[in-house]
Structure 1
Amino acid sequence: MSSTSWQAFTVETDQHVAEVTLTGPGKGNAMGPDFWRELPEIFGSLDADPEVRAVVLAGTGRNFSYGLDLPAMSPLFGPLLAERALVAPRTDFLNEIRRMQAAITSVAECRKPVVAAVQGWCIGGGLDLISAVDIRYASADATFSLREAKLAIVADMGSLHRLPPIIGDGRLRELAFTGKDIDAARAEKIGLVNEVFPDAAATLAAARGTAAEIAALPPLTVHGVKDVLGRERAGVVADGLRYVAAWNAAFLPSEDITEAITATFEKRPPEFKGR
């Protein structure tokens, strides 16, 4: 077995299966600068490694991921939210969105099938991440939320584009418009997860088992299956990501997003005014 440690992940490989585990350093495996920098490096390396034939994606602790680490990533929003932000901060923000989108896309484009094991909270960016994998398992305590609308943000990391063929357009709209939480049973019913298991240990064991089944098959054939399955949606997703990145660079600055971020830090309900 080989093992490599990162700042926001651990990566271990055994019997042709790589296990990528979110470790933080933010609370609840929140996604800060280390996450966005390391994720494409890890999946690019796994994609190129002939010894890896399948990947398990998991999170440490009680939760898979709280999503974007707002305190750690707040410098990203500061220049954009300044009064009358001009073209330079908007261009910088656009480039940063595209860089973060590419990190999630590295998971989707990895030729090795990726199986996610989700426990506890899977919020916002966490849902973006698992929408890019091939197979999703969840523990009975898992809770999912496409939370961005509650922060006055149009989700821009891929959920809006990757989830329609997974859960259907109407169900996606319900989650995206309301930002509501859904439990594991509901997630299984709408097809967001393939199967629900009693606890985190059983979920991870199932993910490892499926990854081992995949790893036992002819690897180039598996690559071909994933390539064929992804052909139609790849163009749609890429076009959608470009559009939402430009949309947010143009329209994300608002009094409402400032209020949402302030209310989050002050732990109070926000008061949105549509300005």
Structure 2
Amino acid sequence: MNNLSSKWIKVSEPFPHILLVELARSPVNAISTEFWKAYGALFDAISEETPDVRAVVLSSAFPDIFSAGLDLLEAGEIAKATADADPESTDAARIALDFKKQIKPFQEAITAPERCLFPVIAAVHGMVVGLGVDIISACDIRYAASNTRFTIKEIDIGLAADMGTLAYLPKITGNMSFIREMAYTTQWFPASKAEQIGLVSKVVEGGKKEVDAAALELAQLIVRKSPIAVTGTKRLLSHARDHSVAENLEYTSLWNSAMLQTKYRPRPNGQNGSKSLSLSLMYYMLSLLGRNPVNAVGFEFWRAYGALFDSISESRPDIRAVVISSAFQDIFSAGFDLYNAGQIVKGRTEANPASDAARISMTFQKQIEMIQEAIMAPERCTFPVIAAIHGINIGLGVDIVSACDIRYAASDSRFTLKQVDIGMAADMGTLAYLPRVMGNLSFVREMAYTAEWFSASRAEQMGLVSKVVEGGREEVVASALELAKVIATKSPIAVTGTKRLLSHGRDHSVAESLQFTTWWNAIMLQTKDFLKRPGSSFLPARPGDFKFGKPKL
């Protein structure tokens, strides 16, 4: 890979299909014009000229610093030259256009890792200043050595960060208040804080050597997966980050309608096709009874699942909340019925050997959209849906809980986004929801690319669940039911409105959400529930006396 190396960037192949890219502009990796042009060109060349590459690890060649950020000396000279190019000109608009022409290609170079087909893992160590934060923000996954320190330094040189930090950080981290504080003050923050807010998904004890090794180990895990599935997962996560859930689900169905025609086929698991299933509704309680003994779910299940939630919304106006759980002690769901799925894929592609790819894609798309509609049924409900998770939760099981309003997990819960292991990108909601419900996009990408298991405590830390309940099924269901009973004491008009406004705010700008909220409450404040218990926040908790009934919107 020496032909990919340049004056200030070293490229090696420590393992098959994995490149190690090291920034090496002495002494501190200050980013000059020549440097960032070479950086962007490198990633474009890797995508175009090295089809066997499956993952890249980005690091620094220097042990004590990742990057000192922008080369301020050169930047000052460029700014002066631009302003002095025509001493007679006082037209600020024309000067601004000249600056814009310089900023745009710079941004495109810094964000080049996002355009790559494969994952780019940043192995961060030492000091990361200003533009260095921009560089790692555009990577898929970020690991940091314990000696790493970060600062968003741009405001100290009289400008707003313009190369990606302010665009990426609000989306990839879970703490907007902290991001604003750091951007306004340029204070340093350590690796542990970066992990806490979601800028990095893992802190590795040590320095460059240790974090490079950890990142390369992760890359080796990724390259063993289907490149079609990994590329699809990357594209769908990036799309989900910037679009609404509904838009992303539509995009996902189109993507996978083509990608499911890959030569990979899931292996039969030795069980027969789906048995009939039932869904048991109790007071506030819904139990999944998929294919015994692991809740592997097929098309029959989804038809019943979606229809049930729609039916509850329409025919049970007295219901205020639902808890969804599994009927089995040790497993929430084993995900999609692979045998059933394999038979359907095989049947669709072999039914008419002469059929073209477009027609096969349309057939797949219809099936995907049907399941997506069922998965999203809890979101369409007027009442909150609480997932009480326990035991093993695989692939499509994560899709199910992601569409719920609130998620509690028993301490015995374990999760995995398993789709990449069967040669596909998750297409039923996980990649649309998780970037929004979790505060660490680096961690989401890592789990989606690797199919690694993660624990209930890690799920709580990352924001997938809001509470971990010590114990198993019995304990987490009891805890979720207690929460449902609290919700049921509140005004159904207010709860429904809150649910709708939170979902709208998730998928729209602040300005759009505020406008929608204004119109919503202009109508809803006319409810008789409003100020029914003035000062109730100072009163002892007691059951609500609100009338039952479906809100008529």
Q: TM-score normalised to the size of structure 2?
A: 0.41
2:193 match: 186
Aligned partner of 2:66 in structure 1 is 64
Decide which of 105, 114, 137 is 2:143's aligned counterpart: 137
State the secondary structure of the residue aligned to 1:163.
helix
Could you tell me which amino acid in structure 1 is paired with residue 42 of structure 2?
Answer: I
2:232 matched to which residue of 1? 224
Amino acid at match of 2:196: K
Residue type of the partner of 1:184?
A
* Identity, % of aligned positions: 35
Where does 1:228-243 land on structure 2 (aligned, <5 Å)?
228-234=236-242
Q: What is the deviation of 1:188?
A: 1.3
Q: Are the aligned partners of 2:4 and 2:42 in contact in 1 as well (CA < 8 Å)?
A: no
Higher RCO by CA contacts (8 Å cutoff, separation 6 or greater): 1
**Structure 2: distance between partners of 1:5 and 1:40:** 13
Q: Over alpha carbons, which structure has the higher Rg?
A: 2
| Partner in structure 1 of residue 432 of structure 2 | none
Paired residues for 1:68-83 under 5 Å? 68-80=70-82
Whether contact under 8 Å (1:139, 1:198) holds in the other structure is yes
- Residue 206 (1) aligns with residue 214 (2): yes
Amino acid at match of 1:29: N
C-alpha offsets along residues 166-188 of structure 1, whole Å, 9 cap, x if unaligned? 22322211111111100111111
Specify the alignment match of 2:182 in structure 1: 175
Q: Which moved more, 1:212-221 or 1:83-92?
A: 83-92
Any conservation in 2 of the 1:76–1:93 contact (CA below 8 Å)?
no
Preserved contact between residue 152 and residue 186 of structure 2 (Cα < 8 Å) = yes
Query: What is the aligned partner in structure 2 of residue 16 from structure 1?
Result: 17
Code of the aligned partner of 2:124: V
TM-fit CA distance, 1:91: 1.9
Residue in structure 1 matched with residue 452 of structure 2 by the alignment:
none
Say yes or no: does 1:215 pair with 2:223.
yes
Give 3-state SS (helix, strand or coil) of 2:161's partner.
coil
**What residue in structure 2 maps to residue 32 of structure 1?**
32
CA drift at 1:121 = 0.6
Q: Kindly tell me: are residues 137 and 42 of structure 1, through their superposed partners in 2, closer, same or farther at Cα, counting changes over 3 Å?
A: same
> 1:21 is paired with a residue of what secondary structure?
strand
- Give the corresponding residue for 2:100: 94
Tell me how far 1:80 sits from its aligned partner.
4.8
Match of 1:273? none
- Assess, with a 3 A threshold, how the Cα gap between structure 1 residues 6 and 224 changes in structure 2: closer, same or farther: same
Q: What residue number does 1:126 align with?
A: 132
Aligned mates of 1:216, 1:3 — CA distance in 2 = 25
Deviation at 1:73?
2.7
How many pairs does the alignment contain?
235
Partner of residue 384, structure 2: none
Q: 1:161 aligns with which of 167, 173, 177?
A: 167
What residue identity is the alignment partner of 1:39?
Y
Give CA-to-partner distance per residue, 1:220-246, whole Å, 9 cap, x none: 11000000000133579xxxxxxxxxx
Aligned to 1:270: none
Cα 1:53–1:4 change in 2 (3 A) is: same
Structure 1 consecutive aligned stretches of length 4 or more whose deviation exceeds 6 Å: none
Quote the Cα distance in structure 2 between the aligned partners of 1:32 and 1:59.
15
Contact 1:36 1:100 (C-alpha < 8 Å) held by counterparts: yes
* Superposed displacement of residue 3, structure 1: 5.6
* Preserved CA contact (<8 Å) 1:7 1:34: no
**Amino acid of the structure 1 residue aligned with 2:215:** A
AA aligned opposite 1:146: I
Amino acid at match of 2:145: S
